[in-house]
Amino acid sequence: MQSNDGAVSRETPSPIGESYADTPIAAAAERASQVLTPGAAGTLPRPPRPRVITVANQKGGVGKTTSAVNLAAGLALRGLRVLVIDLDPQGNASTALGIDHRAPGINSVYEMLLDEVPLRDAIQRSPANENLFCVPSTLDLAGAEIELVSVVARESRLRNALNDDVLAEMGFDYVLIDCPPSLGLLTVNAMVAAREVLIPIQCEYYALEGVGQLLRNIEMVQAHLNPQLHVSTILLTMYDARTKLADQVAAEVRGHFGDKVLSTIIPRSVKVSEAPGFGMTIIDYDPGSRGSMSYLDAARELALQGARKDDVQ
């Protein structure tokens, strides 16, 4: 696993000299200037083929949606073409990406799953970035878990809509699928459509509660429906440096998952929770904030990890 410490920002040698350039302050200042002037931002490596990543944890409120949209925005800011699939009837990812998902008659992930509307007809561009796209969810999706039960190939509907050829044709580098807090048919569809699972884990009491169940479900999908599926990434979220507990949880998670855990940890920050209320990602809402910086770091780590062949095969 690469360190998040300035891995991209140091591609350009600092005129100020090695000693200053190696300090965390210099790295943070450089990141801030790149965020504030997106045109000047360095680019991240494109994966050899589109990476489809399911963001899942059946535990509610652990930062799935926040991580999906902010990682997506971080990747898009660095020149990658990114699609977010909002697979949660709550529609929080659509909201955070500034997509109007309540307008009557819009095509959404529901139509893609049940009426076989092609991906191209359900996509909207996020006002946040010209490289950032979303298939929104609508409240109709709330009925989909039940409606899907009786349809043909009910577990592979999303994969059929998102096959490699379609993604390559549309030039996507990353697809992030934001799952609802359950292990029902919607989440199974996400696991069948993806090669990778990213699990956000909140640095809180009972952080690993339910993760065993999630891993067993992933193994089941891998055994029966999608042999390529694997947990590629763990992201620690809502870290509060004031509590000892947060450090204990982080250490425990690293003990379990080793180098799958990104070295970047997302801090708890009010700004992060405010951003979706303005229909924005934290990277747009407050580019210089700790939350924005950490999601940019995490996006960079994710992209550099993806440059390693074994994670994307």
Binding site for ligand ATP (CB under 6 A): 60-66, 88, 92, 181, 237-238, 266, 268-269, 272-273, 276, 291
Task: Name the minimum Å distance from CB 246 to Mg ion.
Answer: 21
- Choose which of 57, 65, 67, 129 interacts with Mg ion (CB under 5 A): 65
Secondary structure (3-state) at 133:
strand
Min CB(266)–ligand ATP separation in Å: 5
Nearer to ligand ATP, 227 or 277 (CB): 277
Does 59 bind Mg ion (CB under 5 A)? Our answer is: no
Region from 34-42, 60-68, 206-214, 235-243 binding Mg ion, contact rule CB under 5 A: 60-68
**How far is 252 from 179, CA to CA, in rounded Å?**
24
Structure token pair of residue 101 = 């998902």
Alpha carbons 139 and 127: distance in angstroms, whole number: 22
Tokens standing for residue 171: 């030039």
What is the enclosing helix (H) or strand (E) of 200?
strand 196-202
Nearer to ligand ATP, 284 or 312 (CB): 284
Backbone angles phi, psi at 211, to 5 degrees: -70, -35
Cβ contacts of residue 271 below 8 Å, gap of 6+? 282, 285, 286, 289, 290, 291, 292
Choose between 63 and 306: whose C-beta lies nearer to Mg ion: 63
Determine the length of the chain: 313
3-state class (DSSP) for residue 2 = coil
Report, in Å, the least distance between residue 277 CB and ligand ATP.
9
Cβ closer to Mg ion: 137 or 269?
137
- Binding span for Mg ion by CB under 5 A among 84-92, 138-146, 154-162, 246-254: 84-92
Query: What is the C-alpha separation between 172 and 166, in angstroms, rounded?
Result: 9
Which is nearer to Mg ion, 92 or 202 (by Cβ)?
92
Report which of 141, 200, 167 is spatially closest to residue 52, judged by C-alpha positions: 167
How far apart (Å, rounded) are the C-alpha atoms in residues 155 and 193?
9
Is the CB of residue 130 less than 8 Å from the CB of residue 38? no
Residue 44 interacts, among ligand ATP, Mg ion, none and using kind-specific CB cut-offs from 5 to 8 Å, with none
Per CB under 5 A, does 64 bind Mg ion?
Answer: yes
In the complex, the smallest distance separating the C-beta of residue 239 from ligand ATP, rounded to whole angstroms, is 8
Name, in order, each residue with C-beta under 8 angstroms of 296's C-beta and a sequence gap of 6 or more.
31, 35, 74, 77, 283
For β-strands 174-178 and 82-86, DSSP reports them as parallel
User: Rule CB under 5 A: which of 92-111 touch Mg ion?
Assistant: 92
* Comparison of 279 and 291: residue with beta carbon closer to ligand ATP: 291
Q: Is 81 in the site for Mg ion (CB under 5 A)?
A: no
State the binding partner of 269 from ligand ATP, Mg ion, none, CB within 5 to 8 A by kind.
ligand ATP
* 266 contact, one of Mg ion, ligand ATP, none, CB 5-8 Å limit per kind: ligand ATP
Nearer to ligand ATP, 64 or 81 (CB): 64
Question: What are the residues binding Mg ion (CB under 5 A)?
Answer: 64-65, 92
